Structure 1
Amino acid sequence: MNIASLLGIISGFVLMVFGIVFVMTTKSIDMSLLTNFWDIPSVLITFGGSFTTLMTMEPSMRAYLEKLASFRLIFKNLPSNEMETIQNIIALSNVARKEGLLALEETANGIEDEFLKKGILLIVDGTDPELVRSILETELNCIEGRHNDVIGFWDKLSAMGPAWGMIGTLIGLINMLKDLNDVATIGPNMSVALVTTFYGSVLANWICIPILNKLKIKNAGEIMMKEVIVEGLLSIQAGENPRVIEEKLKSFLKPAVRSEYELNEGGEEIG
């Protein structure tokens, strides 16, 4: 589980609640203040309006529910990392160098990564290098397109929250201005009207924007690892020396990660 995501969401909620209930003048906690921020019509307008608008935008209910369920992805860690991917490619290059490309077919049977497995089988079958690159990059573009579609869902939801919050505020203000006979009710009614704007901002900044940014990071990491795989497999197919392949693939790593790789694994002799 990705602890940073869980801790960030929980701590953000706790700090927000603390800011609501902490009374600055008396330096004390007043939990009754939470009732000022609870209004059922405001919840229905802001959250109901935002989510139903996104539902309208999606091609089907299934697509809508699948994108909504992508919320869970921020709590999952990537199954592998850049260093492991490079190490796997170098291991494959050593097999190919010592036993030939055909020997990779048996190795492919034990690989769980379908993208890597597909690339290995393509080069084992003797597919032209340019065609291998074209096939893998096409699949890579399709993967990134699907990822961006999900990211776009949360981006649109982050815009819908404040928009529907403002709609709720306008509804409250219109109802308040229609009845100004009792001046004492203006303050409470204004407070209720502003609650919807508060809900919209919370939905956007506490939930949607962190999710879409986390998904962007995960997408970038996964795409980079697949680009490493493409370059590594094409280098193996070209018969390049494993050491040369390693140096080429290390260029994908950040300086800190590259130093760690060289310290832990990079210094080992490659046959």
Structure 2
Amino acid sequence: MDFATIIGMIAGAAFIAIAIFMGGSFSQFVDYPSITIVVGGGTAATLIRFPIGGVLNAFATGGKVAFTHKKVDPKELIQQIAEMGDIVRKNGPLGLENVELDEPNLKKGSQYIADGYDAGFIRETMELERDQFLTRLSEGQRVFKSLGDAAPAFGMIGTLVGLVQMLANMSDPSAIGPAMAVALLTTMYGAVLANLICLPLSDKLNSKLELEDINQTLIIDGIMSIRDGKSPALITQMLTAYLPEKQRDSLEDAA
């Protein structure tokens, strides 16, 4: 569970709600035409840019990454891979069948080694799996970025609609208030939707994409090193290239 996302969204919504209640009634800030313009217009613009299947997958991926994202430490991956290499040297490839692994692609690579698959097949299959996963993350990031860009734009459109309605009914004082509400609230809804939900999720997916690109490539190189029979010490030294400089010394000393 990624508590940072949950805390951030709840805190942002709470601060807005507190400001509203301190200055008046919450009902004053609820306007269904404004919601329709921002949410409906932003969704429609996104559907024009992306296929509907991609949009639905993006929502699923975004929700999964935002609320259930578990950060995988590359240092821990290297240690696991080195331990797997030690098992293979002592017990042979079949020794990996009893190793419990949480990372799906590492587990799959371990099974490939235990089953005795060809090195070329293992690399090609795992690289394809990595590329497909990164593509899904990239598409999700672009969809949320599109929603984040469209929401304020449609908020401005709603503002123009409200101003036109207001100017068209200047002779009727009772119509000025609702029209002005549409004009102002659509801008507010667009800004909140973009800056509290869509753009933060887009940035989180982008961070996940960069991290997973490193981790999955590290896993592939580690699995291939185990398949080639390299020693745990050599595997560790090779894979420390994926770590920041300050984290390398402790692993290299242990190796």
TM (normalized to structure 2)? 0.83
Structure 1 residues 48 and 59, CA, compared in 2 at 3 Å: closer, same or farther? same
Distance 2:114 2:200 in 1: 42
1:149 aligns with 2:149: no
Tell me the alpha carbon deviations over residues 50-83 of structure 1, each in whole angstroms, 9 at most, x when there is no partner. 23443565544x6544432432431223174323
Distance 1:138 1:65 in 2: 22
Distance 1:241 1:138 in 2: 26
Identity of aligned residues (%): 33
Tell me the alpha carbon deviations over residues 190-231 of structure 1, each in whole angstroms, 9 at most, x when there is no partner. 453122112111111111011111122223223322111111
- Decide which moves more: 213-222 or 194-203: 213-222
Distance 2:174 2:247 in 1: 63
* Unmatched segments (≥5 aa) in structure 2: none
1:81 alignment partner, one of 73, 77, 81: 73
Distance 1:127 1:255 in 2: 34
In the TM superposition, residue 106 of structure 1 has moved relative to its aligned partner by 2.6
Distance 1:39 1:18 in 2: 18
1:233 alignment partner, one of 204, 215, 223: 223
Q: Higher helix fraction: Structure 1 or Structure 2?
A: 2
Name the aligned partner's letter for residue 14 of structure 2. Answer: V
Name the aligned partner's letter for residue 218 of structure 1. Answer: K
1:103 aligns with 2:70: no
Distance 1:107 1:31 in 2: 63
Distance 1:104 1:142 in 2: 29
What pairs up with 1:3-42 in 2 under 5 angstroms? 3-20=3-20, 29-32=22-25, 34-42=26-34
SS of 1:251's equivalent in the other structure is helix
Distance 1:142 1:54 in 2: 22
Q: State the number of aligned residues.
A: 254
Q: Partner residue of 1:25?
A: none
Name the aligned partner's letter for residue 7 of structure 1. Answer: I
Name the aligned partner's letter for residue 230 of structure 2. Answer: E
Q: Partner residue of 1:206?
A: 196
Name the aligned partner's letter for residue 74 of structure 2. Answer: E
Tell me the alpha carbon deviations over residues 16-41 of structure 1, each in whole angstroms, 9 at most, x when there is no partner. 334445xxxxxxx3333x44432221
What pairs up with 1:113-192 in 2 under 5 angstroms? 113-124=103-114, 127-181=117-171, 189-192=179-182
Distance 2:91 2:64 in 1: 43
TM (normalized to structure 1)? 0.79
